[in-house]
Chains A and B, each alone.
Chain A
Amino acid sequence: MRLLGAELRKLRRPLAVWTAVAVVAIVALHAWGIQRSARTTLSGREFIAGPIPTCQQMGLAEGSTQCQRVQEQNKRVFCASQNLDPGAQCDQLVARANTEAQSAFQEFLKQEASQARLARALQEPLGAGYLAAGMMASLVGAVAMLLLAAGHVGNEWSGRTIKQVFVQEGRRWRVLLAKFLSLWMIGMLLLIVLWAALAALAPVFASSYHLGVPGVSAGSALAISLHVAWRSLLVLAAFAALGTLSAAVTRNTLGAFFLGFAFVIASQFMAGYKVIGRWTLAQHVAGWMGFHPSDIVLNHLWRDDFSQIGDGSGFFIKINPRYPSHVLGLVGLLVTIGLCLALAWLRVERSDVKV
């Protein structure tokens, strides 16, 4: 515990602060984009409301002269476009078209319900944790954790302070474990900071973007957030372990970041391939988190886009990607964490400290 305390004290550094600022800024912009996108999408109902929208759909008083005039005009235009005279035949066609439009709109709403609900959740402080946790379990979180690992672990070699550390504590595995745990903890802290920042923005979103969908109760907003947040903790542990391994291998600040980043990008790219895809970190994260391409968390590690590369006929191309299960994701992440820490320990334990 003392060693962990020492590692956490070292983390009070400009890099940690600027990483947090950057993550908050990126995610806040993303949240803003989600609100705009949701409003645009949901406002699309007016354009698929059928040839003769109701007075309510047009925002006019029911039975008013103005509404009747507009509806008459719309009907004339529609009948003319169908080469029909206004009359019973055209009325039947209008009724059928309106019914089809209504059913299409209901289908549309169903498809967009998830996004609308989550965009609405972002307008609740307790619901903002959904995006915070999702983003921390995504590429943004991975990059942030790798930056922190580079500064916190790799820089011990670049800054030549590792000799001071190993002269105080000769059991190198303890130092490495403390570094991993402190990184993980700072990742959790980053998640809390991000949630707090998004929670502060929630009232601003609520007042600026009227989505026209029912609100989310505080209880269900919190439930949405916690469901993702607790799962993201394991992903953060995997990112911390990967960062620790990268730093142990390169024993260098920049090297630690770029090696880890290269691994993450390679993992993203390979996730869509048939044979190797299921062994990638990206698929494990997607499985464990339950990410899906239509999720509001757009930047998660594995998107289906990558599997669309090529003509789909190759041996490696995964034609019909199946998302991994939670169990496969869990096992994959646990193995990743264990493997990364074991390799990092082997590397550090056997290496000479020449700096």
Chain B
Amino acid sequence: MSDAIRIHGLTKRFGGRAAVDDLSLSIGEGEVFGFLGPNGAGKTTTIRLLLGLLRPDRGESFVFGDRVPCPDRLHEIGAMVEEPAFYPWLSGRRNLDVLARTGAPTPTGAVDGALYTVGLSEAAGRKVKTYSQGMRQRLGLAVALLRKPRLLVLDEPANGLDPAGIREFRDRFRALGDAGVTVFLSSHLLGEVERICDRVAIVDKGRLVAVGHVDELGRTASARVRVTLRPQDLDEAVRLLGAYPVGLESPNVILVTAPSGREVNEALGRGGVFAESIAPERSGLEERFLALTEGGDDAPARG
């Protein structure tokens, strides 16, 4: 598998602070790749460097083998950088039309097709200044999909979307990945990343701290499992789960750090204790993320 993206020793400083610090990474063609990190970790800066919006202080990056900046490759890249901005006095369709005319030609019907894909056909005639944030995100995705790209670079695409929208985006990205499109997805929503990505990278303070398959990263750390019991079973349950760290959340709820809920259920069942419910509180990936980023600037949201 050839590389869609190859980053080597990329460094970008703003003032004295390194936003991206000696970052190296490869993403194969057709991969759905998650790019994780707390606020200020350098995710957006990395994306801007990849798209040629910023010039690196050191290092280089390549897209489909061409060194960035690579204007001739841009038609193969669909991008959404942070909150997408549009011309508020123009309609959604007109915005898309203007951006379709900027750069490489688009296929016939690309504008209407992209609007339909993101579910904005009905609102396309309205001025963008009347759009909600979720609608702007959808329009941003429509721009990214205009030229049927081989590579999608998406920076927090689910911002401002409602749960149904998040699920819709998730399914769409997965489908694009299945269709052979490389997806480079930066997100706070660890649950979403876990569901749709093949591999993930975790960055913190501009440096790469972990990279690997989602399952691998998740397995290397234990998950936290929330167990709800009848109060009279609490002591017995704690005894049965003695092999794992157990914390008491309330008189009938305990938090167990274990490889998975299945192990917890088995241990309780062997002792004849049956839980009211067993639910994962944090996934393995989330535990790993928090461990690597020291809790981050803010806690990641679950998607």
Please pick, from B85, B88, B90, B102, the residue contacting A168 in the complex, using a CB distance under 8 A. B102
Alpha-carbon distance between A160 and B55 when the two chains are bound, in angstroms = 18
B103: which of A5, A163, A169, A353 is its contact (CB, 8 Å)?
Answer: A169
Looking across the interface, which residue of chain A has its beta carbon closest to that of B48? A353
| Chain B residues, Cβ within 8 Å of A167 | 51, 53, 74, 77, 79, 81
Kindly supply a per-residue 1/0 record for chain A positions 146-184, scoring 1 wherever the CB is within 8 Å of any chain B CB and 0 otherwise. Answer: 000000000000011101111111110001000000000
Any B CB within 8 A of the CB of A352: yes
Q: Are B84 and A12 in contact (CB under 8 A)?
A: no
Pairwise interchain contact B103-A10, C-beta atoms closer than 8 A: no
Chain B contact residues: over half helix, strand or loop, or mixed?
loop
Please tell me if the beta carbons of A9 and B97 are within 8 angstroms of each other in the complex.
yes
> B101, A352: Cβ atoms under 8 Å?
no
Q: Is B70 an interface residue (CB 8 A)?
A: yes
Contact B99 A164 (CB under 8 A): yes
CB <8 Å contact, B86 and A170: no
Instruction: State the CA gap A161–B79 with chains docked (Å).
Output: 13
Cβ of B98 under 8 Å from chain A: yes
Looking across the interface, which residue of chain A has its beta carbon closest to that of B83?
A160
Q: Cβ of B28 < 8 Å from any Cβ of A?
A: no
Interface string of B54-77 (1 = CB under 8 A from A): 110000000000000111101001
Task: Find residues 235-258 in chain B having any chain A CB closer than 8 Å to their own CB.
Answer: none
Q: A2-B101, A3-B101, A6-B101 are in contact. Are A169 and B74 (CB under 8 A)?
A: yes
Nearest-neighbour CB distance to chain B for A61, whole angstroms, equals 66
- Tell me if B48 and A168 are in contact (CB < 8 A): no
Interface size for chain B: under 10, 10 to 19, 20 to 34, or 35 or more residues?
20 to 34
B87:A166 contact, CB within 8 angstroms:
no
Nearest-CB residue, chain A, relative to B140: A164
Closest residue of chain B to A6 (Cβ to Cβ) is B101
Min CB distance, B188 to chain A, in Å?
A: 20
Q: Are B54 and A170 in contact (CB under 8 A)?
A: no
Assembly CA distance A161 to B89 (angstroms): 13
B-contacting residues, A228-272, CB 8 Å: none
A9–B85 Cα gap in the complex (Å)?
17
Nearest CB of chain A from residue B197's CB, rounded to whole Å: 22
B213 contacts which chain A residues (CB < 8 A)? none
When distances are taken between beta carbons in the complex, the residues of chain A under 8 Å from B85 are 159-161, 163-164
A13 in contact (CB, < 8 A): yes
B86 surroundings in chain A (CB, below 8 A): 161, 164
Interface check A354, CB cutoff 8 A? yes
Is residue B105 contacting chain A, with contact meaning CB distance below 8 A?
yes
A14 within 8 A of B: yes
Q: Which residues of A contact B69 (CB under 8 A)?
A: 170
Complex: how many Å from CA A170 to CA B54?
A: 12
Residues 89 to 119 of chain B near chain A (Cβ within 8 Å): 89-90, 94, 97-99, 101-103, 105
Per the CB 8 Å criterion, the residue count for chain A at the interface is: 26
Given known pairs A9-B94, A10-B90, the reply for A165 and B102 (CB within 8 Å) is yes
User: In the bound complex, do residue B53 and residue A163 qualify as a contact, i.e. CB atoms below 8 Å apart?
Assistant: yes
A153 to nearest B CB, angstroms? 13
Distance from B105 Cβ to chain A, minimum over Cβ atoms (Å): 7
What separation, in Å, do the CA atoms of A6 and B89 have in the docked complex? 14
Are B79 and A13 in contact (CB-based, < 8 A)?
Answer: no
A168 cross-chain contacts in B, Cβ below 8 A: 74, 99, 102-103
Q: Report the separation of the CA atoms of residues A164 and B79 in the bound assembly, to the nearest whole angstrom.
A: 8
Contacts A167-B53, A170-B74: A5 and B101 contacting too (C-beta < 8 A)?
yes
Residues of B contacting A171 with CB < 8 Å?
71
B90 x A12 contact (CB < 8 A) = yes
- By a CB distance below 8 angstroms, the chain B residues around A3 are 101-103
CA of A167 to CA of B85 in the docked complex: distance in angstroms?
A: 12
In the assembled complex, the CB of A162 is this many whole angstroms from the nearest CB of chain B, namely 9
Min distance, Cβ B129 to any Cβ of chain A, angstroms: 11
Complex-state Cα separation, A164 to B90, whole angstroms: 15
Which listed residue, B53, B84, B105, touches A166 by the CB 8 Å rule? B53
- Given known A-B contacts A169-B71, A171-B71, A10 and B87 have beta carbons under 8 A apart: yes
Interface string of A1-43 (1 = CB under 8 A from B): 0110110011011100000000000000000000000000000
Is B52 within 8 A of A166, CB to CB? Answer: yes
* A169 contacts B102, C-beta separation under 8 Å: yes
Neighbouring A residues of B101 by C-beta, 8 Å: 2-3, 5-6, 9
Query: Which residue of chain A lies nearest to B72 when distances are taken between CB atoms in the complex?
Result: A170
- B53–A352 CB distance below 8 A: yes
Q: Which chain B residues lie closer than 8 Å to A165 at the CB level?
A: 99, 102
Distance (Å) between the CB of B99 and the closest chain A CB? 6
- Chain A residues lying within 8 Å of B53, measured Cβ to Cβ, are 163, 166-167, 352-353
Task: Quote the shortest CB–CB distance from A53 to chain B (angstroms).
Answer: 63
B41 within 8 A of A: no
Chain B residues with Cβ below 8 Å from A161 are 85-87
Shortest beta-carbon distance from B49 to chain A in Å = 10
Q: Which residues of chain A have C-beta atoms less than 8 A from B70's C-beta?
A: 170
CA distance in complex: A10, B87 (Å): 8
User: Shortest beta-carbon distance, A355 to chain B, in Å?
Assistant: 8
13 contacts between A and B (CB under 8 A): A2-B105, A10-B90, A159-B87, A159-B88, A163-B48, A164-B85, A164-B86, A167-B51, A167-B53, A170-B52, A170-B71, A170-B72, A352-B55
Q: Considering the complex of A and B, which 9 residue pairs feature the smallest CB-CB distances, nearest first?
A: A170-B71, A168-B103, A6-B101, A160-B85, A353-B53, A168-B102, A169-B103, A352-B54, A2-B101
**Additional pairs, 5, CB under 8 Å, beyond known A10-B90, A167-B81:** A6-B102, A10-B87, A14-B89, A164-B86, A169-B71
Residues of B within 8 A of A (CB): 48, 51-55, 69-72, 74, 77, 79, 81, 84-90, 94, 97-99, 101-103, 105, 143
